[in-house]
A and B are shown apart, each in its own frame.
Chain A
Amino acid sequence: MDELIKRAKELLEAGTVKVVIGYENGSADKTRALFAIEPKDADKLIFDSRCVMNLATYITKAEVKGKGKMAITATLPVMRAIIQLASEFQVNDSNLLVLGITPESKMIEFKDLAEVEAFVHKYTIEIEAKYSEKLEKLDKMTPSERWSFWIEELSPCFKCYACRAACPMCYCHKCTVEFNQPQWIPVPSHDLGNLEWHMMRAIHLAGRCIDCDACYNACPLGIPLNLLTKRMLIDAKEHFGGYQPSIKADHLMSTYKPDDKDNFIM
């Protein structure tokens, strides 16, 4: 990605941005986030098929945001996250420059977020076949079978909150689980505590989750958390005409239209 390195250097040298967020080689053949501040740091930038972590999770962090204008290496899921974050007033043109990487691994520098949005809108969020199968299987279960499935799947969770840390949409300074007057969501990792935590997280992501699988990839125990959010995407499609992150659109869950179907009320 010589082109990417060259552009990152230019941007840092010219002072157009204060930090370039991208990927670098980490240990054990893994990649990790790079925050290039000096032009020479940019030499470490890489991009290959191992770069799947959603970097958008850093652009809402005070430590990164505080440095000044950011540039970010953004794959399609990252761009989607950026647009959703822009619609939630977390980033804007004045603090973020997007160095997009197309699904064909080509770099495009976007003039502004509106251009990013236009690019994102060329693609729809599709659930992969392997997940659709799993979801269909879950659908066919009786409610009690489904309950047992999730209790079992979630039982190893020890609430390391890696899912939350990896998720670009989990940028709140004070998470619901940290709200302790009263403690609505139990902190301990017992069955109920785990279930309530993951259900709450899934509900908070309904109409916001851009389906990047970062939560699932981050989970050290391989809990299929993304089945919950994918289910939400399917529901969004069935009931509200589908989800696509948009800078100005009304939020899927908070917008009432008189012609909304009410068949989800049981």
Chain B
Amino acid sequence: MPDPQVTVNGQPRPLAGTPTRTNALDFLRGLGLTGAKEGCAEGECGACAVMVARPDGAGSRWTPVNACLVPALALDGQEVVTAEGLGTPERLHPVQAGLAAAGGSQCGYCTPGFACSMAAEYYRPDREAGPDGFDLHAIAGNLCRCTGYRPIRDAARALDGPAPADPLAERQASPAPAAVPTRVDGFARPADLAEALTILADHPDAVVVAGSTDWGVEANLRGRRASYVVAVDRLAELRGVSTDGPVEIGAALTLSEVEAALGDTVPLLGEVWPLFASPLIRNGATIGGNLATASPIGDLAPALLALDATLLLASTTGDRAVALADFFTGYRETVLRPGELVRAVRVPTPLAAHTTFRKIAKRRYDDISSVAVAAALDVVDGTVVRARIGLGGVAATPLRARATEAVLEGRPWTQETVEEASLVLAGEGTPIDDQRASAAYRSAMLGNALRAWWDEEWDEGERQ
């Protein structure tokens, strides 16, 4: 196996000797590329954003990620572009020129990260030039404390398309670097699933990472260190999508990839994506990782509970299927056995006809839910024949609102039923007081979730 290395701004950079704990941000800064900054070390601020070349059909896509969360060794064989690689002070990249001229930088500390997030969107192949062509969600994971964002927004909207011979645009026409199997002290990127499972069987204490958006926080903020890290995000067996029959989603697909692959297939998930963290996180975080970390406030779990999803688990001793509703066993605990991986998520079809996702948080985008409610209903001839409601943030695990479901099923779908179900829903779970919300507010939000849905989508009485 060749020594690990990564291409940064077109130059090969050796990774050999890099400790497993070293994240990509510290690695890049150690090279003297100090444009990327540590603002929070947990993927919330985007000051460390860099672009990596990721597969996109036959070509590749410049994809921004938070460098602070990714182990440097996970970049073996990959291509990275930092703000320094976009342009120089004498020869600014169009995104950089636009930001500078608009007054988009004040203190400048967040600016290189903004430049990378914006550049990635600038190079999105299907982006249309013009003020509405730039998807502002692309910079939702970058925080600026100085400008108030208006000049950054205006700079983004004013961007034209890339020039014909733009090298970074041209790069996207050819394939992204293949995943490179890596085996160094304390870190492995196995070549295939079988190898991954063997390694995990040999190293039951190994930390499994994909986008490392959760483990990266543990390492950076809580000083946790792994004796062994196994990267599974490029395993081909974990990266398939099937919508023929049940929807099956490979566990190692990033949320961005799932979003792109599913399109409008699963409308409930379509509601979740814009509210789930930020694009910088969704470009790293995987669907399997989000479920396996078993956060009680992960937004995907409530939605997938409402969709009656099943997890397909793989290990050297064989595969098994576990209903998501049975997967979580306690705070950050699951039925996953040592050496076992989530291989895929399966959503049964036909999908429920009516779905909604309601996220309550202090901030509209890029925040952690105080409460999340996902509901999926089948209504036949005005009667609820099937109800599934998933909840986040109101117990030690994500959970189904089974009592509320029972109230709804078999009842006419009317405001009276909504009201009766809401009273039950308000009593589901065991919400607590914490810094995000009070228990009373969480219960009130449970109680109002169906009421708000009714008001917005069903009640004929209030229409604009």
Chain A partners chain B: no
Which residues of A are at the interface with B, using a C-beta cutoff of 8 A? none
